[in-house]
Amino acid sequence: MQTTLFKKTELGTQALKTRDPLLPQRLRTAFILFDGHKTVAQVAALLPATGPGSLSAEDVQGLIQSGLLDSADALPLAVAPLRDRATSPHSSLSPAEQSRRYTSAYYLADELVVKLGLRGLRLLRALEKTTGYNDLVALLPRLREAIAASDMEPLEELLFEPTGG
């Protein structure tokens, strides 16, 4: 992980701007330094070795699991499945169809995340911040990490079913 490049996610940037508690105050300086061009080791070298401003592997892992940081190296691979779907029929959905799908899928996603209990609290907060179809599609990677694939199938069908289906 020391040689991996990390960058802020959209959720991370928003958390930074709004001073969201999802991004702890003691990690804000370190978080700002992750720009997709610095490794964890380079960011850690810019911070104090110990104390409130220091950066541990657990801190970085926590930022990744919270969806605030993502690997800049792996981005093209991680986004590839979504890009394939972006060229599929749903990319040309009307706003009304996107709204219908978002509403249906949101309630199912909410049920699935609530079943996670306290483990899903941060994910629930992220879900509650979604405002439309595209936001919910962008949250899918985090949902897939936390929820069993068999439980995710109905949600993905709601979002990506062929038009007219």
Cα–Cα distance, 37 to 101 (Å, whole number): 37
Alpha carbon distances (Å) from 46 to 1, 23, 83, 142: 17, 19, 35, 29
Question: Quick one: CA torsion of 117, 111, 143, 133, rounded to 10 degrees?
Answer: -140
- The predicted structure's pLDDT at residue 83: 40
- Read off the tokens for 149: 């694939």
Length of the chain in terms of residues written = 165
Cα–Cα distance, 27 to 60 (Å, whole number): 9
pLDDT, mean over the chain: 81
- The predicted structure's pLDDT at residue 73: 61
Alpha helices in 2-132 (DSSP H): 10-18, 28-33, 40-45, 57-65, 75-86, 95-114, 121-128
- List the chain domain ranges: 5-73, 76-160
Does the reported pTM lie above 0.85? no
Q: Could you tell me the end-to-end alpha-carbon distance of the chain, in angstroms, rounded to an integer? A: 43
Distance of CA 90 to the CA centre of its chain: 21
Q: pLDDT by residue (tens digit) across 87-143?
A: 344 557 888 888 899 999 999 999 999 999 998 899 999 999 998 899 999 999 999
